[in-house]
Structure 1
Amino acid sequence: MLYLSSYMLGDHADRLLAMAGGAGARMAVLTNALDAIPLEAQLNFVRTKYDPLTYFFQNGFDPSLFDLRRYFGRPHELASLLRQYRIIWALGGNSFLLRRAMRDSGFDTILPDLLKRGIVYAGWSAGACVAGDLMSAVAAMDEPNVTAPGYLTTDPIETGLGLLPYQIIPHYESDHPETSAARGAVEWAMKHGVKYVPLRDGEVIIENRGHVDFLPKLR
């Protein structure tokens, strides 16, 4: 099952709660899309603007932060831990850094089994971008070669997780700082004949047992 949002939980958090079994569902929050941001800047942002733990808790979830760098080369340990959760949520940030963390930790190889167990993969912005088959259009929004402490390579990854047969482009025609970049990503995808789905902030894509719903912005 998939729950992919352009920004934050989007306008359909009730659907995610239902997919995960109701209020109090345990959520593993992957933070690696933010790894290129200095730690002090991240902490200041949490203190003054947005704390993901508080945000998800206030919306009915039981969240825990996960740094995939701790599990580089240790996929079996990572799989054992993630099986204890109902939702795996990937935060926004740099899509290519998140995708590299998923590869180096083995997350991308263990995810199919987690999905078979009924665990929901979810995310916003970068967390949604990595779900598609390719990531080429997203290069108009994120730096492909970005690196951060703990990463051994800077090679850009062109393939996503392959959970959907197209690329998701978030923040399209939205009141968001990356809206202009999103428009550029859409133009690139159209020019190169790449399948894509643009999402406005508030919109959500849900996949459940092979059925895909595109849920609209409500407010």
Structure 2
Amino acid sequence: MLDIDLLLLSRWLTPVHDFLVPRVGAGARIGFIPTASSIYPDQTWLDLDRSSLRDQGFEVVDVDPELVSAATFTRALSEIDAVFVSGGNVFHLLGALRHAGADRPLVDAVRRGLPYIGVSAGACVTGPDIAPLALLDDPSEAAPLTSTVGLELIDVTVVPHAEGTVGGRGRIDRTRQEFADRPLHFLRDDEALVISGGTTTVIAG
């Protein structure tokens, strides 16, 4: 695993301040990628996430690869201190990133040191394969997607809401059974993963 800085969350943004400030300073500029939720008419949780980040003292600017060219998106990544990838449908997120030509610039920026914060779908997409999320998100809602290979920033697939808060515990149990041969990390809403300095740590979320 490369020496990258990732904070992967299931739901709550409480750990963001303590993760980001030592790396990029107070008042950092966060690029907010809302893509995973663009297919849903109700995006209330995006407003709540933006407000939470601002309440923690950060500047928040939307960086939406579905609305701008790949070149503009790539340039925007060079003008922010950290990137935040919101929750929603992970299949749509991956398909939209690929369709927009934004997946490789995002990976390259993170590998060059841009801190990455991913919530729910934004956490799931960082792994090797999003196929195990098919019981939690509907693949048919996705942008055109020819492969479920993820961004491959980490070597496990994060399964969020592991206590069953989204879709019920039955789906989590089925995922655990049906994908027992895959490297999965089941992440509860009160937990977060910090991947930094070549190590992975579970912290309170």
Q: TM-score, normalised by structure 1?
A: 0.82
Change (3 A) 1:63 1:115: same
Identity across the alignment (%):
26
1:17-28 mapped onto 2 (5 Å cutoff): 17-28=20-31
SS for the counterpart of 2:30 is strand
- Whether the 8 Å CA contact 2:30–2:60 is kept in 1: the answer is yes
- Whether the 8 Å CA contact 1:144–1:156 is kept in 2: the answer is no
1:169-180 mapped onto 2 (5 Å cutoff): 169-173=159-163, 176-180=165-169
Counterpart of 1:203?
191
| Cα shift at 1:114 | 1.0
Change (3 A) 1:189 1:19: farther
Q: Could you tell me how far apart the structure 2 residues matched to 1:56 and 1:173 are?
A: 25
Structure 2 unaligned spans of 5+: none
- Whether the 8 Å CA contact 2:160–2:187 is kept in 1: the answer is yes
Change (3 A) 1:103 1:8: farther
* 1:63 equivalent among 60, 69, 79: 60
SS for the counterpart of 2:158 is strand
Structure 1 unaligned spans of 5+: none
* 1:7 equivalent among 3, 6, 11: 11
Q: TM-score, normalised by structure 2?
A: 0.87
Confirm whether residue 104 of structure 1 aligns to residue 99 of structure 2: yes
- Whether the 8 Å CA contact 1:169–1:186 is kept in 2: the answer is no
SS for the counterpart of 1:33 is helix
- Whether the 8 Å CA contact 1:29–1:66 is kept in 2: the answer is yes
Q: Could you tell me how far apart the structure 1 residues matched to 2:81 and 2:168 are?
A: 31
Q: Could you tell me how far apart the structure 1 residues matched to 2:24 and 2:172 are?
A: 33
Deviations 1:42-100 (A, max 9, x none): 3xx36xx95332221002221112221113xx322211111111111111110000111
Aligned residue pair count: 200
Q: Could you tell me how far apart the structure 1 residues matched to 2:86 and 2:27 are?
A: 19
1:1-219 mapped onto 2 (5 Å cutoff): 1-9=5-13, 11-38=14-41, 41-42=42-43, 45=44, 50-71=47-68, 74-147=69-142, 153=144, 155=145, 157-173=147-163, 176-180=165-169, 181-190=171-180, 193-217=181-205
Greater than 6 Å deviation, 4+ residue runs: none
Q: Could you tell me how far apart the structure 2 residues matched to 1:60 and 1:131 are?
A: 26
RMSD of aligned residue pairs (Cα, Å):
2.1
| Cα shift at 1:18 | 2.8
Q: Could you tell me how far apart the structure 1 residues matched to 2:25 and 2:54 are?
A: 13
Q: Could you tell me how far apart the structure 2 residues matched to 1:17 and 1:101 are?
A: 27
